[in-house]
Amino acid sequence: MQDLRLDPEGGILRELGNLEDVGRFKRVPGKDIMAAFNTLVRRGDHVFIYRDIPYRMMALDFSDTGRCDFYLAREVFLPSMVSMVGPKDSPLVPSLSHRILLAAEAGLYNFWYKTYTPNLTYCLRPQTKVAIKSALDITNIWGMLVVVAGGAVTSLLVFCLELLCFRLHHQQES
């Protein structure tokens, strides 16, 4: 496998290489990726950094378990590049590049990827809204009841104060 320390001055690849030297970073061969994903990452003490977005692994895991155990990070720190390589000065390269661009702009690659991978987008990001699905009982709603009771007591006190002020005002006039 290639050495991660490509930039002698620094950078994220250099930092990952240094972490590997002290045992805080593990490289996993391509044939063992799914096993590492299902053991190390599922255990909860490892994260998975992959050069491509692991949509397929997450979608397969959701299909197997029926729940979202993994989410993608919101940050992207390594660029992902997909390209086509052709011979130098080939007349096919500009023609194919144009057609690839048209297919990408039409959204065909995303469509094909979503068709190829069921449950692709279901577990991409963590939910921003949390739905509580527990039964309602007094321990779940006591805070709301305190607010309602506090509002009722406060309104009763203000009403009594208004009545008192009204009587004092009428007594002063007479």
Could you report the per-residue pLDDT of 141-174, keeping only the tens digit for each?
889 999 999 999 999 999 999 999 999 988 888 7
pTM of the predicted model as reported, rounded to 2 decimal places: 0.42
DSSP 3-state assignment of 121? coil
- CB of 73 closer than 8 Å to CB of 79: no
- CB of 157 closer than 8 Å to CB of 99: no
Q: What is the pLDDT of residue 153?
A: 97
